[in-house]
Structure 1
Amino acid sequence: MRVVLVAALVAVTLAGCTDGGEETATPVPSAPSPGTSMDMPPSAFSSPKPLRSEPGGPSAAPGLSLALSASAYGPYRVGQSQAELEEAKMVRGLKPDEAGCVSGTGSRLMQNPRLRFSGGRLVMIELTNLGASTDTGLLIGAELDEVKAKYPTGKIIFGTAGAAWETVDGDNALLVRITGDDVTGLVGGVATSVEARHRAGLGC
Structure 2
Amino acid sequence: MRRRPLVAVTVALTLLSGCTDDPPTPSAPPSASPAAAPGTTLDMPPESFGPPPPAPTPTGRMEMSPAGYGPFRIGMTQQEVTDAGLVAGLSPDGCGSASGFPGTPEVDFWGGELVRVRVGSPATTAPIGATLADVRAAYPAGRAVTGANGVTGWLVVDGADAMLVEFTAGTATAVTAGRTTTVEEVFAGRRGC
Count of matched residue pairs:
141
Where in structure 2 are there 5+ consecutive unaligned residues? Answer: 1-52
Partner residue, 2:75: 79
CA contact (8 A) 1:65 1:73 kept: no
For residue 57 of structure 1, the aligned residue among 54, 65, 70 is 54
1:182 Cα deviation (Å)? Answer: 0.2
Task: Report Cα offsets for 1:72-117 as digits up to 9, x if no partner.
Answer: 2111110001011112221023113xxxx41111241344211100
Inter-partner Cα distance in structure 2 for 1:58 and 1:196: 31
Aligned-pair identity in percent equals: 33
Q: Does residue 146 of structure 1 match 2:138? A: no
Q: TM-score, normalised by structure 2?
A: 0.66
Q: Does residue 196 of structure 1 match 2:185? A: yes
1:195 Cα deviation (Å)? Answer: 0.3
CA contact (8 A) 2:163 2:177 kept: yes
Partner residue, 1:171: 160
1:61 Cα deviation (Å)? Answer: 7.2
CA contact (8 A) 1:74 1:110 kept: no
Runs (4 or more) in structure 1 with deviation over 3 Å come to none
Where in structure 1 are there 5+ consecutive unaligned residues? Answer: 1-55
Alignment of 1:112-151 (within 5 A): 112-134=104-126, 138=127, 140-151=128-139
Tell me the C-alpha RMSD between the 2 structures: 2.4
Q: TM-score, normalised by structure 1?
A: 0.63
Inter-partner Cα distance in structure 1 for 2:166 and 2:123: 15
SS of match in other structure, 1:112 = coil
